Amino acid sequence: MQTTQALVLRTSGTNCELETARALERGGAKVDVLSHRRLQDDLPRLTKYRVLVFAGGFSHGDDLAAGRVWGSDLRAIRRELDAFVADGGLILGVCNGFQVLMESGLFQPDRAPEERTLALYSNASNHYECRWVQLAVERSKCSWWTEGWKFPVPVAHAEGRFTCKDEATLEGLRAAGQIVLTYQGANETLTYPENPNGSMGDVAGICDPSGRVVGLMPHPERNLDLFNRPDWTRLEGRQEGEGVRFYADLVAAAQG
């Protein structure tokens, strides 16, 4: 079987491209890391890849809003990104990468970016959240992650509160299979910090209508090794972090 080719994009202010590349490699992909400008100067090279990942960090300093500048830059290559997805490619945005995809309008391709009904706002706590949370995979169009799988993962963001225009919009996403990941807690009703940012519906990650463009606020690439979890010394029968499975499932889906 041919090795899946993956591309991790970076730009000014990103800081997670190398650990994201390592996660994809642990998942079985052959990975290149490239600046957005280099790709924009040679767009035909995008066709050699099956997975495109937007790395986390603080692209362009998040000076206007988190991910807004880089998200606006994506509109210039929207035709190529749409063709990439139509040809079976997968796009993933993690943390700031999720914010970038949100600002680009890729999650609502039938709407102009300024008319979208989804957003990522400042955390309800009004401060930066850096902690471990529990996620669960929901029934969605991203069938490569097993429904019901629960796993721990770190979050590190200040603007990760997923918000919809109204409850009807949220239910529409759920009915369309676009809610991919949710925060989990000890009880059915979550409280802070189980839901670390106050996201509507406890949503941690979503996809576009095709199921091939995915964004999430937590960082699975920071849970690759046995010792990444703070409770690792009390765990038995665990050889690697759950983030390896997350990226391996993504890479395997791209092969198919």
Q: Summarize pLDDT for 113-136 with one digit per residue, the tens.
A: 778 999 999 999 999 999 999 999
182 alpha carbon, distance to own chain's centre? 12
For residue 63, pLDDT over 90 is answered with no
Q: pLDDT of 146-156, one tens digit each?
A: 999 999 999 99
Annotated catalytic residue: which of 157, 164, 219, 242? 219
Tokens of 28: 């079985």
CATH of 5-255, one of 3.10.129.10, 3.40.50.880, 3.40.50.1100, 3.40.50.300: 3.40.50.880
**Catalytic residue of the set 95, 142, 164, 207:** 95
Report residue 236's pLDDT band, with 50, 70 and 90 as the boundaries. confident
**122 — phi, psi (to 5°)?**
-60, 145
The reply to whether 16 belongs to the active site is no
Q: Is 219 a catalytic residue?
A: yes
DSSP state of 104: H
For 70-109, the pLDDT digits (tens) are 999 999 999 999 999 999 999 999 999 999 999 999 999 9
Burial of residue 49 (CB within 10 Å: 0-12, 13-18, 19+) is buried
List the domain boundaries for the chain. 5-255
Position 256 scores a pLDDT of: 73
Q: Which pTM value belongs to this model?
A: 0.96
Q: Nearest CA to 215 among 76, 53, 87, 62?
A: 53
Answer yes or no: 221 catalytic. yes
Catalytic residue among 103, 159, 221, 242: 221
Q: Which residues, at least 6 apart from 36, have a Cβ–Cβ distance to it below 8 Å?
A: 9, 10, 11, 70, 73
